[in-house]
Structure 1
Amino acid sequence: MTNSTIDVLVWGPLHEFLMQALARDFKVHKRWEIKDLDAWVADRGPHVRAVVTSGVYGLETALLERLSSLEVVTSFGVGYDAIDTAYLAKRGIRLSNTPDVLNNAVAETALALMLCLTRRISEAERFVRAGKWTSAKFPLGRGLTGKTCGIVGLGKIGKTIAKRAAAFNMEIAYFRRGEPYPDVPYTHYSDLKELARQSDYLVVIVPGGPETKHLINREVMQALGSDSYLINVARGSVMDEQALIASLQAGEIAGAALDVFEDEPRVPTEFFSMDNLVLTPHLGSGTYETRQAMAELVFTNLSSYFNQGKLVTPVNLD
C-alpha cells in the first residue's frame, strides 16, 4: 500500500533499494540535502511522522524535539546505541531495527578475522607484494584447531559465531554475568578476566552503549596473555583503544583484529605500523545479500507500521 502523503525524514544515504522503495511509497525528505535545516523544520517538521536512520548516523535529540508528529524510527542495523532510546520511550515513539538477518555475515567476519590474524594472512599478502618471498621465508602462524574461543556476548550473533568456531574444532566458552544460559552446551564464565585467561581467542560481540564502554580494558588484555588474540566485531566503544595500543606495544597479547573503532572512520595512527593487528572498515554485515535483507526489513517495518499499525521487529523501549 502506498503512503505517499506520509512525510519521512531519512537521516543519511542508505541502501539503494531502500531509498528507491521509500521514494516510491512515501514523501521522502533527505536530511543531507536540506540546505537550511531551520527553515525546513519550521515548514515540514510538524508533518514528519517517521525517521529512517542507521547505527552509523544515529539521531540528534534536539532535532527530534522539533518533529512534533514523529511516531516511529526505523534503523538500518541491529545496534541502536547511537539512538537515545530513553527519549523515544518518553515521547512514545516506536523503534525498530534489523536483527537476525545479519547474524551469518557478522559471524563470517569474526571467523575471517580470526583466520587472517592467526595465520597472518594480511601480513603474508604484504610480504608477497613487496617481493620478499624470493629472499626470505615467511614466519609461521598459529592454528585454530583445539584452541579455546571465548565469546563476550552470547546473543544471537554470538551463538552463530560459536557454531562457526566449533566447526573448526575449537572449544567454546562465553562470558555472562550471573547464571549461565540453560540452552547452550558451552562453558560459562561470570568473570570476564577468567574467561580471558582461559581463551586463546577472545571474540567481542556485545552491544555498545554506556553499560559496555571500555568493557575490554587493560586488565582483560593482560589476563588474555601473550599467546592469545583479541577480535572485536561489536562496537568500538566496547574496547579501550589506548589500553590496546599499550598492551600490544608491551607484548601482553599476541595480536588483535578490529572491525570497529571508537571514533569511526578515524583510526589511531599507532595501529598502522603494527603487523600483529588486522584492521577492517566496519564491514561486519557487508555482503550484498545481507545489506539487501536489512534494507528490505527496514522498509517492511515502516510499511507495516503505517498499514497494519505494528512493527515487524520492534525494539522494546521499556
Structure 2
Amino acid sequence: MTPTTPTHAAVRPRILVARAVFPDVLERLRAVFDVEANQEDQILAPAELAHRLADKQGVLTTASERIDAALLAACPQLRIVANMAVGFNNFDVDAMGAAGVQGTNTPDVLTETTADFGFALLMATARRLTEAEHYLRAGQWKQWRYDQFAGAEVHGSRLGIIGMGRIGQGIARRAAHGFGMDVVYHNRSRLAPDLEAACKARYVGKEELLRTADHVLLVLPYTPASHHAIGAAELALMKPTATLVNIARGGIVDDAALAVALREQRIAAAGLDVFEGEPRVHPDLLALSNVVLTPHIASATVPTRRAMATLAADNLIAFFDGRGPLTPVNTPAPRKYD
C-alpha cells in the first residue's frame, strides 16, 4: 500500500527555534509542535541552518539567520519563517515569496522601548557619558574644570530624524514634548498632517536635515536602497558640532567613513547600537573615544523581548492553525502541494 502524505491534523508540524528564547515560550511551542531548539544559542552557519531546517515546516529566527534562495532550495518543506524582530533584512523576501514561504515579524511590541533607547543613546552621545565614565573609572578625575567633558546641548536644539515610522514618531514625541527640541524629519513619504502635529515635526529634504540638525538620528529600515545612506558625502554636510545616532540597522551607515569623520572631528560624536557585519565592529570605531557603542540592545527590556518572542510564537501557531499569520511581511505564492 502506497503511504500518503499525513495531513496537518495527523502529525505535529516540525519547527526549529534557531536561538534561545524564554523557557515558557519554548514550552508553549512544544505543546503544539515537534520542536528542535538551538539550546547552545550559537548563531548557526548557513550550512548548519539548512541542515537543521531540511525536515522542518517552520522556524523561529532572529535577525542573525539569513533566509535566502540557497537555503530555501535546500529546505523544500519549509512553510513559514517567524522573525523575532521588527526588521527583516535577513529575509530575501522575493525568494521566499516565489518558494511559497510565509515571513512574519514582530512590529509594534517594541516601539516605545526602542524609542526610549534611541533617546537614551542620543543623550549619552551628546553629553559624552561613556567617555566621562571611562575617565572616572581610570582614576583620572582629580579636579573640576569648567570645560571638562562639556558636550552638546539637547533641550531646545534641532533633532533630525531619518525614518519616520512608529519608532521615529515615538522619538519625535519625546524630543518635542519632553525636551522642547525643534524636530525635523525625512522619510520616503510625508506623514499625514495629524501625525506631524502629534509629533510636532516638520518634513524637510535630506540635505537640509543633515546641514541644519544638531543631532541626526537614524530609524529607517535597511534595504539595498538605504545601504550607506550615510556615507562620507552625507557626513561632510553635517555640522562639526553635530552628533549621529544609529538604532536602525548596520549597513545604513558607512562605518569606515564614520570613523574617519569622528577621528578628524568633522562631526562631534556618534552613538551606534548597530554595525556593518555585526557582531563584528569596525576596529577604527573601537579606537575612538567620541563614539558610544552598544551591542544591538535597543529593544532589550524583559517585557519587550518577551512580547517579541510571544508574537513570533503566535505567528507560528496561527499559521499552522489555518488562521493565517498575525503580522505577515510578504504574500507568498500558492504552493501546489499544500
TM-score scaled by length of structure 2: 0.85
Aligned Cα root-mean-square deviation (Å) = 2.5
C-alpha distance after superposition, 1:83-140 (max 9, x if no partner): 1110111122211100000111111111111111111111111122122222453332
Q: Check the 8 A contact 2:212/2:239 in 1, yes or no.
A: no
Residue 141 of structure 2 aligns to a residue whose secondary structure is helix
Check conservation: 2:104, 2:315, Cα contact below 8 A. Answer: yes
Contact 1:147 1:200 in 2 (8 A): yes
> Conserved in 1, the CA contact under 8 Å of 2:114 and 2:299?
yes
Who is 1:29 aligned against?
Answer: 36
Give the Cα–Cα distance (whole angstroms) in 2 for the partners of residues 92 and 261 of structure 1: 31
The CA distance in 1 between the partners of 2:106 and 2:136, in whole Å, is 40
Between the aligned partners of 1:52 and 1:180, the Cα distance in structure 2 is: 33
Map of 1:187 onto structure 2: 202
2:319 is aligned, of 280, 299, 305, to: 305
Instruction: Choose which of 140, 149, 155 in structure 1 pairs with 2:150.
Output: 140
1:92 and 2:100 are equivalent in the alignment: yes
SS at 1:25 equivalent: coil
C-alpha separation in 2, matches of 1:174 and 1:314: 27
Instruction: Say which structure is richer in helix.
Output: 1
From 214, 224, 241, the counterpart of 1:227: 241
Deviation at 1:265, TM superposition (A): 1.0
- C-alpha displacement at 1:55, in angstroms? 1.0
Report the alpha carbon displacement of residue 29 of structure 1 after superposing the two structures with TM: 2.3
Partner of 2:74: 66
Partner of 2:170: 160
Deviates more, 1:219-228 or 1:13-22: 13-22
Counterpart position of 1:175: 186
1:101 maps to which residue? 109
- Alignment partner of 2:161 out of 151, 167, 190: 151
Q: Output the CA distance in 1 between the equivalents of 2:303 and 2:14.
A: 29
Matches within 5 A, 1:150-299: 150-166=160-176, 167-177=178-188, 179=190, 181-182=192-193, 183-185=195-197, 186-189=201-204, 191-299=205-313
Unaligned 5+ segments in structure 1 are: none
2:13 to 2, 6, 22: 6
Q: Where does residue 121 of structure 2 map in the other structure?
A: 113
Name the stretch that deviates more: 106-115 or 59-68: 59-68
State the distance in 2 between where 1:18 and 1:234 align. 26
1:167-212 deviation per Cα after TM superposition (whole angstroms, max 9, x unaligned): 11111110124555433132112x3121111211100011112111
1:292–1:32: structure 2 CA closer, same or farther, 3 Å change rule?
closer
Q: Output the CA distance in 2 between the equivalents of 1:14 and 1:170.
A: 38
Structure 1 residue identity aligned to 2:161: I
Contact 1:196 1:224 in 2 (8 A): yes
In 1, are the aligned partners of 2:63 and 2:88 still within 8 Å (CA)?
yes
Q: Which amino acid aligns with 2:81?
A: V
In structure 2, do the counterparts of structure 1 residues 141 and 92 end up closer, same or farther at CA, with 3 Å as the change threshold?
Answer: same
1:81 deviates by 0.4
Shift of 1:235: 0.5
Q: Deviations over 1:196-254 (max 9, x none)?
A: 11211100011112111000111211111101100000011100111101111222111
Q: 1-side partners of 2:51 and 2:64: how far apart?
A: 22
Segment of structure 1 superposing worse, 6-15 or 193-202:
6-15
- Give how far 1:165 is off: 1.3
Structure 2 CA distance for aligned equivalents of residues 142 and 313 of structure 1: 40
1:306 to partner: Cα distance? 1.5
Distance 1:317 1:201, change over 3 A: farther
Query: Partners of 1:176 and 1:41 in 2: how far apart?
Result: 40
Q: Distance in 1 between matches of 2:28 and 2:10?
A: 11
Indicate the residue corresponding to 2:25 in structure 1: 18
How far residue 3 of structure 1 moved from its aligned partner, in angstroms, is 9.4
Distance 2:300 2:240 in 1: 31
Which whole-Å CA distance do the structure 2 matches of 1:242 and 1:69 have between them?
41
Task: Count residues with an aligned counterpart.
Answer: 312
Quote the sequence identity (%).
33
